[in-house]
Amino acid sequence: MTSADLMIRRALPFALAIGIWMAPVPAGLTAPAWRLFAVFLAAIVAVLDGAYPLLTSTTLAVAAAVLTGTISPAKAFAGFANPSVLLVMIAFLVAQAVVKSGLGRRISFFMVGRFGRSSWASPTASCSPTP
């Protein structure tokens, strides 16, 4: 992918957000709700298009919603106060670290080398109290 293609891909979500932001608010919606729709639709498009990774896209979306005054910082970051959300976020970060570092591959090779005498030995090795 050339740098011009990447620039276009990265500009597309911003253009979409600005376009929706400037469009008239539909009947039945408040202006802040319409603006949040614009911001988070742009974030979803950015991830689906591959312009930005998920973490970058969501961080930009939350920052845009707060910096434009659409929602208060307390509301924007209220979900992070829930321990379940933090647990899921940490699990994703640890999983990505294990994959990137190759630790998962090393552990799997160790397990196959240690308990891989037969096709039955590997899955039952973790359940058995003795090797």
**Does some domain include residue 130?**
no
User: Cα(24)–Cα(31) distance, rounded to whole angstroms?
Assistant: 9
129 domain residue, yes or no: no
Judge if 21 and 35 occupy the same domain.
yes
> Same domain for 71 and 105?
no
Domain that holds residue 70: 1-79
Number of domains composing the chain: 2
For the chain, percent of residues with pLDDT exceeding 70: 87
- Flag whether pLDDT at 125 surpasses 80: no
Q: Is the pTM of this model over 0.75?
A: no
Q: 11: phi > 0 → left, psi -120 to 50 → alpha, else beta; which? A: alpha
Residue 86, in any domain of the structure:
yes
Same domain, 11 and 64: yes
Does a structural domain hold residue 111? yes
Measure the CA–CA gap between 71 and 36, rounded to whole angstroms.
8
Mean of the pLDDT values across residues 15-32?
92
Largest CA distance in the chain: 69
Mean pLDDT of the chain: 85
Specify whether the CB–CB gap between 39 and 46 falls below 8 A: no
pLDDT score, position 71: 92
Q: What is the pLDDT of residues 38-64, one digit of tens each?
A: 999 999 999 998 888 888 898 899 999
The residue-averaged pLDDT of 64-84 equals 88
Q: Is 75 found in the same domain as 91?
A: no
Please report how many Cα atoms fall inside a 13 Å half-sphere around the Cα of residue 70, on the Cβ side.
Answer: 21
